[in-house]
């Protein structure tokens, strides 16, 4: 049951070009920084990345965009990344924009083993183009498919060598949903402890969902946009 690997390089060792990846985080909060940096070094390409966001220039998923390793982004919010914008407008990058609740629910459906779900968000907009529409109780819903993600890469606050995870505050965000959904789930943690040290009442992701875990390092925890008051 020891799922510990030496580090990020070992954790992502077999992610191939063309893979579909889920990457946890919301903005820059709770993103798997070490694994992203390791993927840049491997040089894999043609990746499909499912993430709430596309990082920023030079950080987060922005690093993979900078090195042209991403073929397609499936995201909710992409407004902080100039390189993303350039690649989108030039036709170099495929983009699927998904309402945030829909993105979360499709992740959940994947983890629950559900092939698809009916959701209201996006009905009557471009999001609905080409999708099956059904009426339930007088309201129209879109058929949204679960993802077929090869790997899920998440970042947690604490974990044990059996893969049990605890997320801290808002860094929890998309991480637990995505941790359930990967065929192989990789977790990097700030603190790695022995089994029994985590209070079972506070475990967010049971170890059964996690296949590899390692202690990360050098987390920057950047802020996307810092707003401060002027001195009085």
Residue 80 confidence (pLDDT): 80
Report pLDDT for 226: 74
- Given a contact cutoff of 8 angstroms between Cβ atoms, the answer to whether 15 and 21 are in contact is yes
Chain centroid offset of residue 76 CA: 11
Per-residue tens of pLDDT for the chain, all 232 residues: 789 999 999 999 999 999 999 999 998 899 999 999 999 999 999 999 999 999 898 899 999 999 999 999 999 988 788 999 999 999 999 999 999 999 999 999 999 999 999 999 999 999 999 999 999 999 999 999 999 999 999 999 999 999 999 999 999 999 999 999 999 999 999 999 999 999 999 999 999 999 999 999 988 877 777 788 888 7
Check if the beta carbon of residue 165 is closer than 8 Å to that of residue 203.
yes
Q: Where are the alpha helices (DSSP H) in 159-212?
A: 175-181
- Residue 232: what pLDDT? 72
Q: Tell me which DSSP letter residue 207 carries.
A: G
Q: Where are the domains of the chain?
A: 8-116+147-215
| Res 93: pLDDT | 95
Cα separation, 179 vs 11, in Å, equals 15
Contact 58, 84 (CB under 8 A): no
Phi–psi pair at 190, nearest 5 degrees: -75, -35
Give the pTM: 0.92
Instruction: Look at residue 155 and give its three-state secondary structure.
Output: strand
Cβ–Cβ contacts within 10 Å for residue 69, how many?
A: 19
* Residue 21: C-alpha distances to residues 16, 48, 74, 207 (Å): 10, 6, 10, 20
Point out which residues pair with 72 in neighbouring strands.
Answer: 48, 94
**pLDDT score recorded for residue 39:** 97
Dihedral angle over CA of 107, 150, 131, 104, nearest 10: 10
- Distance (Å) of CA 41 to CA 45, 76, 144: 11, 26, 34
CATH number for 8-116+147-215 (one of 3.40.1080.10, 3.40.50.460, 3.40.50.2300, 3.90.650.10): it is 3.40.1080.10
């Amino acid at each position: 049951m020891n799922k510990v690997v030496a580090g990020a390089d070992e954790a992502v060792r077999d992610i191939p070009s063309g893979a579909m990846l889920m990457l946890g985080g919301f903005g820059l909060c709770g993103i798997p920084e070490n694994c992203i940096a390791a993927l840049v070094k491997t040089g894999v390409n043609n990746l499909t990345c499912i993430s709430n966001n596309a990082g920023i220039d030079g950080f987060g998923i922005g690093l993979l965009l900078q090195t042209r390793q991403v073929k397609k982004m499936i995201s909710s919010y992409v407004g902080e990344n100039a390189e993303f914008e350039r690649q989108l407008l030039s036709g170099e990058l495929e983009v699927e924009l998904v309402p945030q609740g829909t993105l979360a629910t499709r992740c959940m459906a994947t983890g629950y083993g559900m092939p698809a779900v009916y959701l209201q968000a996006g009905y009557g907009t471009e999001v609905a183009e080409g999708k099956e529409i059904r009426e339930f109780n007088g309201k129209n819903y879109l058929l949204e498919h679960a993802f077929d993600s090869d790997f899920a890469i998440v970042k947690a606050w604490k974990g044990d060598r059996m893969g049990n995870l605890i997320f801290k505050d808002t860094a929890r965000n998309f991480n637990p949903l995505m941790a359930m959904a990967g065929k192989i789930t990789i977790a990097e943690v700030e603190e790695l402890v022995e089994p029994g040290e985590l209070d079972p009442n506070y475990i967010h992701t049971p170890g059964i969902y996690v296949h590899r875990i390692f202690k990360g390092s050098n987390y920057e925890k950047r802020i996307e946009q810092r707003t401060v008051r002027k001195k009085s």
